[in-house]
Amino acid sequence: MELNTAETMEPNMTSKPKKIAEGLFHLPAGNPAEGYLIGARCAKCGLVVFPRRVVCPGCLDRESMEETALSKHGTLYSFSVNQVAPDGFTAPYITGKVDLPEKVRIFAVITGCEATEDALSIGMDMQMVFEAVGRDAAGNELIGYAFRPAEQH
Ligand SMILES: [Zn+2]
């Protein structure tokens, strides 16, 4: 693998938050409350997908996918407690799938609770949040999306 971009050549002396990936979410600087996951909705058949796709997986139309802001609330479909973490992350941690009202299922890290089987229950209300999920090799904070149990009102 070749790594010869300017970014990897220059030492990074100051730590600054970076997104885990481009194109997955919109997060205005200094205003995380305005952020959202970027999905695509098919104008022909109504199917919503995440991440965005050019071709609709439902009706195979190539012109019909339009960018859409996904809901920040959903219900927990499934989860698992992971005892081994990739570099830059801390175990144990929880990953899970959350169903949004748009009928799209999002895979994400689950935060805001203890990393135990008892901390969550299938079908509970979940809320999407942006937060630091780890660090890259240069020590920059990696900002990603996660879901946490929704606050009870
Ligand atoms: Zn479609």
Ligand 1 center to 65 CA (angstroms): 7
Q: Where do the domains of the chain lie? A: 15-149
Ligand 1 center to 61 CA (angstroms): 6
Ligand 1 center to 38 CA (angstroms): 17
Q: Tell me the pTM.
A: 0.83
Say whether pLDDT at 3 is over 60: no
Please tell me the predicted confidence (pLDDT) of residue 101: 98
Ligand 1 center to 99 CA (angstroms): 19
Q: What is the pLDDT of residues 86-109, one digit of tens each?
A: 877 789 999 999 999 999 999 999
Please tell me the predicted confidence (pLDDT) of residue 15: 62
Please tell me the predicted confidence (pLDDT) of residue 46: 97
Ligand 1 center to 48 CA (angstroms): 9
Ligand 1 center to 62 CA (angstroms): 9
Residue 6's H or E segment, with its range, is helix 6-9
Ligand 1 center to 69 CA (angstroms): 17
The closest alpha carbon to 37, from 47, 48, 75, 17, belongs to 48
Please tell me the predicted confidence (pLDDT) of residue 14: 58
Ligand 1 center to 37 CA (angstroms): 20
Q: What is the pLDDT of residues 55-72, one digit of tens each?
A: 999 999 999 999 999 999
Q: What is the pLDDT of residues 71-84, one digit of tens each?
A: 999 999 999 999 99
Please tell me the predicted confidence (pLDDT) of residue 33: 82
Ligand 1 center to 137 CA (angstroms): 40
Rounded to whole angstroms, what are the CA distances from 128 to 60, 84, 106? 29, 24, 10
Q: What are the beta bridge partners of residue 78?
A: 97
Report the alpha-carbon distance of residue 111 to residue 70 in Å, rounded. Answer: 19
